Amino acid sequence: MRWRVLFPALLLLAGCQEQEMAKQPKLKTYAFAEAFAGHSAARPLPEGVVARSDPVDPQQALAPPKPTLALVQRGRERFEIFCAPCHGYAGYGDGMIVERGFPQPPSFHSSRLRATSAQHIFDVITHGYGVMYSYGDRVPPQDRWAIALYLRALQVSQMQKGGGQ
């Protein structure tokens, strides 16, 4: 009977060791490293890496691009990825998130949002509005303009179907 108590206790004690991972050899970021060129442990960033805190080019944020079919198609793709979960694929505010209890966003087909400027749409994507949080760090400026352009095309298409409110 005694072994039934001692054996699990021994198993628990056998697992109690200091964290070996904390003691393994490693290089601190700016430490000397003979193995690398320049003798620095800090490695250069791969080409094309963009820091999250990189400033937005003011020209991209202020000047909408010329509308093209490719830009509208890009906007649709980005809309379906970032916007449709809440706003729905047709833009009526009936996305999957709403079906799960999240507050319903306004329909893009309301007279108020049909009359709003593309700059306002760009700014809402960038900074968020109401319950919607900012997508400024997830969606680059050129894609925000593409989404705004696609929304205009979506509004026109739904007006043709009688979907305006």
Per-residue pLDDT of the chain (165 residues; tens, 9 = 90+): 676 777 777 666 666 566 676 777 888 888 888 888 888 888 888 887 766 665 666 666 677 889 999 999 999 999 999 999 999 999 999 999 999 999 999 999 999 999 999 999 999 999 999 999 999 989 999 999 999 999 999 999 988 766 555
Cβ-in-10-Å burial (0-12, 13-18, 19+) of 146 comes to buried
Distance (Å) of CA 152 to CA 61, 137, 148: 18, 23, 7
Q: Where are the alpha helices (DSSP H) in the chain?
A: 2-15, 58-62, 69-78, 84-87, 96-99, 111-115, 118-127, 141-160
Helix, strand, or coil (residue 132): strand
What span, in angstroms and rounded, lies between the C-alpha atoms of 123 and 53? Answer: 18
What span, in angstroms and rounded, lies between the C-alpha atoms of 88 and 144? Answer: 17
Residue tagged 């709003």 (tokens): 116
Q: What is the pTM of this model?
A: 0.65
Q: Taking the CA of residue 75 as centre, how many other CA atoms within 13 Å lie in the half-sphere pointing to its CB?
A: 25
**Which structure tokens are listed for 157?**
């298409």
pLDDT of residue 157: 92
**Which structure tokens are listed for 82?**
């970032």
Helices 141-160 and 69-78 meet at what angle, rounded to 10?
Answer: 90
